[in-house]
Structure 1
């Protein structure tokens, strides 16, 4: 095999996402990406565990606060909410920074490091009915890059999800910054199944 043929083969493998070439270090086999599915009403950790992935959670902060204005725009008239900040690790590697605002104060003292937020709500008789989620491309800011052990500017997905109860009261506003080099977004479509709508981002 000639050097040119080898380089072409490596480029093809890199285009297919099977290897990554790092200048000055060499060529490495790319780890398979976990899939974040959009066709289920489950929490992030539940979704990945159902696919056989090892997911652990670090609680970075959990306390009652008055929601800031950008959160109140999603939660409505909630004057007090639990601010829950978590770091999700996939097979021991930081993968997602998750900031959740939970209406009310019931979950202020609940240990959510190994319990689904939806399950914790259900334990208190609060039924989750539906959720609206938008996902957009982004890059890691300095603070998120530090938490996720990546350089600032690393590609990421930013997910904003509002979860509603049976009476359509917003219960949780959740913003997840998902490391784009570890996770991909996948969904399945059918005639009577999930529908997706694409909207153009506003430009300034």
Structure 2
């Protein structure tokens, strides 16, 4: 008795997936209401919801309780060949980005952070914790430690960190970055509204001024469904090294 039901919701999921992939439903667009879809496919709401759950598990749709089901936004590229803010990269690719500031205060950083920033013992730094909402959903959690504490009153919902640094006369010149795959930890999972263990990229980046002084070190946790990593390679001057995890 179970086989016809299983076959049917697989068929519905396959049909909706084909419509999404061929552009009938564009990235970010809302699917018809569940009752309308269940009537169209002549199935119960339970069967339809099983099909939608399959599409959600495959990353093709996003279900927002009380609002509806939406086609997942197009995957954005995390560019390795530029030194710009994450927000600038996403906006230039046509993504709707909103920055939410969770923490913005001056405090003593952990010993490892102080060592990375070459801070004397007891010296404070600006702690900046942000969430990037991509296409209306949380997609990136970022914790930054910044040496110039004078940026405490800056509105980082409207200004990028690099632009704020430039406003103080500090011009960033380069950054060292390490990116690795991880499973989403519990604390950040709650912030991003995703299950613990969801695949993510974790970026640890330290940014330097022209004279080599480190001014920012940050960690960004990026949901795997939101972004893919891209880079350009040349015949000479390759800047990517492959090595076992530390």
Q: TM-score, normalised by structure 1?
A: 0.85
1:74 is aligned, of 116, 123, 127, to 116
1:119 is aligned, of 151, 163, 169, to 163
Query: Cα RMSD (Å) of the superposition?
Result: 2.5
Where in structure 2 are the equivalents of 1:177-192 lying within 5 Å? Answer: 177-192=221-236
2:99 is aligned, of 33, 39, 57, to 57
Runs of 4+ more than 3 Å apart: 23-27
Larger fraction in helix: 2
1:185-204 per-residue CA deviation (whole Å, 9 max, x = no partner) reads 111112246521111013xx
Long gaps (5+) in structure 1: none
**What is the match of residue 200 of structure 1?**
244
- Identify the range of structure 1 (74-83 vs 159-168) with the bigger mean alpha-carbon deviation: 74-83
Larger fraction in strand: 1
2:238 and 2:126 mapped to 1: Cα distance?
31
**What is the match of residue 75 of structure 2?**
33
Between the two structures, name the one with larger relative contact order (CA 8 Å, sep ≥ 6): 1
1:150 is aligned, of 151, 171, 194, to 194
Larger Rg: 2
**What is the match of residue 28 of structure 2?**
none
2:144 is aligned, of 100, 112, 115, to 100
Long gaps (5+) in structure 2: 1-6, 22-48, 62-71
> How many residues matched?
190
1:90 and 1:69 mapped to 2: Cα distance?
32
Query: In the alignment, does 2:211 pair up with 1:138?
Result: no
